[in-house]
Amino acid sequence: MKIAAANSDAWNIAKSKNPQQPTVLRYRPSLQKFLADENYPRKLTIIWKFAPADDSGMPTDTQSADMKDFEELLLDVLDSDRLAILAFVYTTTGLREWNFYLSDTDEVALRINQALKSMPKLPIELHVQDDPDWEALRQVYQICS
């Protein structure tokens, strides 16, 4: 059984009903059968902080377009050979997070740095943590089911 490419897989979208904390969570239900895949024991979170467009807390159209381009770039360099698996994307007031599962942290860092080398500096932070049981994605499924 092979993990599908992120850009050809089905995605679900969940939105919070709390107007004080608008949240959009986009996730891949097909990954449920891969939970705790031993080939991907770490989680990479890429955080992009932004100034919200308005009281909705969501990004402007320009920011959204830039984030979409950034996500496509990430998928091109990380997902083409499944070096890293994009599991879910979380957006809330002033913040978007891309959450990937991966095995080779050094290769992921090398590819991201190479891809971003020719781009203007982006307002991103990268964090890697051990998550061999894919607990973060399990929580997404619990929240959304």
Number of domains in the chain: 1
Residue 95 lies in a domain: yes
Cross-strand pairs, 24: 15, 91
> Among 22, 41, 11, 36, which Cα is nearest to 108's?
41
pLDDT of residue 54: 85
Any domain includes 98: yes
Q: Is residue 14 in a domain?
A: no
Per the domain annotation, does 11 fall within a domain?
no
Question: Domain residues for 46?
Answer: 42-144
Reported as a single tens digit per residue, the pLDDT across 16-33 is 877 777 899 999 999 999
Query: What does the pLDDT look like over 1-21, one tens digit per residue?
Result: 799 999 999 999 999 877 777
- CA separation, residue 19 to residues 15, 57, 58 (Å): 10, 9, 12
**CATH of residue 72:** 3.30.70.1710
In a domain, 4, yes or no: no
With respect to residue 114, please indicate whether it lies within any of the assigned structural domains. yes
Give every residue of the chain whose pLDDT is below 50, as ranges: none
- Of the candidates 26, 13, 40, the one whose C-alpha atom is nearest the C-alpha of residue 88 is 26
Q: Is the pTM of this model over 0.85?
A: yes
